[in-house]
Amino acid sequence: MDPLDRALSDPTLGRPELSIVIPVFNEEDVLPLLALRLRPVADGLGRSYEVIAVDDGSNDQSPVVLQRLRREWPQLRVVRLRANAGHQAAISAGLACARGDYVVTLDADLQDPPEVLPEMLAAMRGGVDVVYGVRSDRSSDSAFKRLSARAFYRLIRILSGTHAQVDAGDYRLMSRATVDAINALPEHHRVLRFVVPALGFPSASVAYHRDERAAGRSKYPLSKMIRLSLDSVTGFSTAPLRAATWLGLLGGVGALALLGYALVAMAVGHTLPGWTSTVVAVAGVGAVQLLCLGILGEYVGRMYAHLQARPTYFVAYDSLASTSTGQRSATPADEPLRAESRRASL
């Protein structure tokens, strides 16, 4: 029997063999569709499992829909964050709560099909710790998103030396050792699609067709994509710092050359150009300085956040803890749930 079958056949009481982590933010329209597609796949695996839906501070009816689904789906576990912490932080919260021997992360929008999960489990039997879901067809994405994503992944690989899978998002299956290693990292603002490859654990990949979003609209606008890019670059490479250093050196050489030209022109009696050249020189040096200060500011900001040691997320509710203790204190965030319960009892 191979290691995966031994791990999945271990009848450890109270501990599922597979954990499925799903970050959720304002996905009230897509959650019923997700349950319709994911539950048959998970039940068909013939293994014990849990589905951890991490509600990332949704302000729509997503908490109500999750509680409604949980009544009919005992394997569904709801973890609610007290405030919106971001997509990567929600996944990190799910990984910290996951108890399975193997953990898969999956977005709720169904662009990454859950039907690929059995194939990913089969690939795990090759003795690897991570199986990446790689998008073989991204025709559902815009041309700008496809081109920018490819350029971004290649830039990160060049700058950091991390062999991140191109066209691999957050759909991945990980062993318990991988999840424990991620949870042990003290890093804030982690970008898991680069953190996991940086661990260097043995990996494999499974290709799949990326579908269009099943319902709702994307929760990753351009501003969040830029923020993710900045976190990725500053979190995995010191190349921007080196670039700032070289730009500073080049600016200094240019300033010395300009000074030498001015001295020679004055010595031979030539008239120096007017204020235009002065303004251009000052503006050029100022632009280099500002760029360097901006890059340094990104690193100083990350150091400041790390020194503060503030938690990346706050868990307001965990349905597993609620079930085990039988009661918990109510919070204002529970008002939609109590209202839904009252409507159900009528």
Three-class SS of 284-307: HHHHHHHHHHHHHHHHHHHHHHHH
pLDDT in tens, 160-214: 566 667 677 789 999 999 999 999 888 777 888 888 888 888 999 999 887 776 5
Higher pLDDT, 4 or 238: 238
Rounded distance, CA 226 to CA 53, Å? Answer: 26
In this structure, what DSSP letter does residue 269 have? Answer: T
Q: Average per-residue pLDDT in the chain?
A: 77
pLDDT of residue 343: 41
Q: What is the pLDDT of residue 316?
A: 75
- Can you give the pLDDT at residue 86? 87
Q: Which residue has the higher pLDDT, 303 or 107?
A: 107
Cβ proximity of 100 and 176 under 8 Å: yes
Q: Which range, 8-12, 137-141, 239-243, is most confident? A: 239-243
Task: State the pairing for strand pair 168-175/130-137.
Answer: antiparallel
- At residue 72, the pLDDT reads 94
3-state secondary structure of 344: helix
Of 139-143, 147-151, 272-276, minimum mean pLDDT range: 272-276
Residues 18 and 157: their CA atoms lie apart, in Å, by: 31
Alpha carbon 158 to its chain centroid, in Å, reads 20
pLDDT at 153: 64
Average pLDDT over residues 328-339: 44
* Per-residue pLDDT, 335: 46
- Checking if the pLDDT of 340 tops 70, the result is no
- Looking at residue 231, its pLDDT comes to 66
**pLDDT score recorded for residue 64:** 95
State the DSSP string of 142-174: -HHHHHHHHHHHHHHHHHH---PPTTEEEEEEE
For residue 98, is pLDDT > 70? yes
